Amino acid sequence: MALDPIPVLQSTFGFPDFRGVQRQVVDRVLGGRRTLAVMPTGAGKSLTYQLPAQMLPGTCVVVSPLIALMHDQLRAATAVGIRAATLTSADDNRAETRGRFLDGELDLLYVAPERASGSDFRELLSRGNLSLFAIDEAHCVSEWGHDFRPDYRLLRPLFDQFPDVPRLALTATADAHTRADILEQLGIPQDGLIVAGFDRPNIRYHITPRDQGTRQIADVIAATPGPGIVYVQSRAGTEKLAEALARTGRPVRVYHAGLDPAVRQRNQHDFVASEDMVMVATIAFGMGIDKPDVRFVAHAGLPKSIEAYYQETGRAGRDGDPAVAHLFWGADDFARARQRIGEVEPARQPGERQRLNALGALVETAGCRRAMLLRHFGEQPGDYCGNCDNCLSPPNAVDATELAQKYLSA
């Protein structure tokens, strides 16, 4: 008999209904089938394991790449009455958590991937009762993904020790190649793939060659009221730009991994609470931050890949209201990226080069930016969105091509 998730959805989570493909994913998981769900940021991936974790007997083990992320999830789950814990080096109640797991008192157990390799963790799991393995940010398992984490490769051998426990892999960012790789690396069948729509119609995309100085970013800020994020490639770059942008009169904060953790946390907190703040950050900022009213995301330089661009710009407009994404790029970005590719291990170079070329095609296109983005994620959009720079004011195609050829050749 099929389990009905709706009553739990409403009583525990307080949502009247599922969104998008959530129902499809939850039904597969409740049916015990291995699944990879590719759903954009904000689509509600957490629910697709939290809900089955509430309904199935035993504990759902959630693999997550960042301790900060885990603690956010833990807080949110606990707030709705889910029995959850994290088991990380940052927790001093590990013995208690192990006990709760063994006593069947946990619905969710969050762990980092490096824990999976330990024989004591395997031993712990074998003595308890498991409902599900959930793998968050599953693109980390793939060298084709933009954020490869070797520890994710240790998950498959662990999961294979528990072949009857279903697996649910989740990611917001996976092109066709990465998807196929995730399925293979995690032992999920091809028909276990569920892909949600990637379009974010309320985000307007602008991609522009960069001028000297900070005027372009200052213009974006002046033209766009409401909170915004400016992504800068280097830590030093964030500090410098923030200083310049302070002159716009908007409150500005900085976020990068080199800051003192207390400062970082305070800046993040200020930003989340603010209605007009500009966060100047490296890509260390954003994952797991739930701020629906971000009105703009500006890239002061080339992102790492189309996946990264989509994910970073996707932090704008999660409330569905109009938002804008600006990317300012220069020839030196491509030169630096090519140089970096030359330095990575040879086996990874073709993938990296392909990623850079895809990004080059996106910045050079005279066609619809959204169409190109969505095609990258395997969708078949029309070729006019009416809400990107090229649709709104068609460029001089000859100029755009010449410019890009100059940067992409060599």
Dihedral (CA of 170, 176, 178, 180) sign: positive
Question: Of the listed pieces 44-52, 61-69, 85-93, 345-353, which binds ligand ADP according to CB under 6 A?
Answer: 44-52
CB of 105 to ligand ADP, least distance (A): 24
Backbone torsions φ then ψ of 52, nearest 5 degrees: -60, -35
**H/E run at residue 230:** strand 228-231
Among residues 139 and 250, whose Cβ is nearest to ligand ADP?
Answer: 139
Helix (H) or strand (E) holding 130: strand 130-135
Query: What value, to the nearest 5°, has the Cα angle with vertex 377 and ends 389 and 143?
Result: 120
Under the binding rule (CB under 6 A), the answer on residue 15 touching ligand ADP is yes
- The answer to whether 46 contacts ligand ADP (rule: CB under 6 A) is yes
Q: Which residue is nearest to ligand ADP (CB)?
A: 44
Residue 47 or 165 with smaller CB distance to Mg ion: 47
- Name the minimum Å distance from CB 337 to Mg ion: 27
Interacting residue ranges for Mg ion, rule: CB under 5 A: 45
CA distance 322 to 330: 27
53, 105 contact by CB (below 8 A) = no
Closer CB to ligand ADP, residue 133 or residue 334?
133
Which of 38, 47, 112, 241 contacts ligand ADP by CB under 6 A?
47
Q: Which residues contact 181 (CB under 8 A, 6 or more apart)?
A: 141, 142, 143, 144, 145
From ligand ADP, Mg ion, none, interface partner of 251 (C-beta below 5 to 8 A by class): none
Residues 256-295, interacting with ligand ADP (CB under 6 A): 290
Number of residues binding to ligand ADP, judged by CB under 6 A: 13
Could you say whether residue 45 binds ligand ADP (CB under 6 A)?
A: yes
> Are the beta carbons of 183 and 304 closer than 8 angstroms?
no
**Partner in contact with 19, chosen from Mg ion, ligand ADP, none, beta carbon below 5 to 8 Å by kind:** ligand ADP
Give the nearer residue to Mg ion in terms of CB position, either 26 or 302.
Answer: 26
Query: From Mg ion, ligand ADP, none, which one binds at residue 290 (CB under 5 to 8 Å depending on kind)?
Result: ligand ADP
> By CB under 6 A, is residue 18 in contact with ligand ADP?
yes
Provide, rounded to whole angstroms, the least separation between the CB of residue 22 and ligand ADP.
6
In order of 91, 140, 230, 286, the CA distances from 297 in angstroms are 34, 24, 6, 11
- Please tell me the distance from the alpha carbon of residue 328 to that of residue 168, in angstroms, as a whole number: 37
- Main-chain dihedrals φ then ψ at residue 348, nearest 5 degrees: -95, -10
User: 278: closest CA among 256, 251, 313, 243?
Assistant: 251
214 binding ligand ADP? (CB under 6 A): no
Of the ranges 14-22, 127-135, 190-198, 235-243, which one interacts with ligand ADP (CB under 6 A)? 14-22
| Binding-site partner at residue 42 among ligand ADP, Mg ion, none, CB < 5 to 8 Å by type | ligand ADP
Angle at 167 between CA 105 and CA 26, to 5 degrees: 80
Tell me whether residue 19 or residue 406 sits nearer to ligand ADP (CB atom). 19
How many residues comprise the chain?
A: 410
Positions touching ligand ADP (CB under 6 A) are 15, 18-19, 22, 39, 41-47, 290
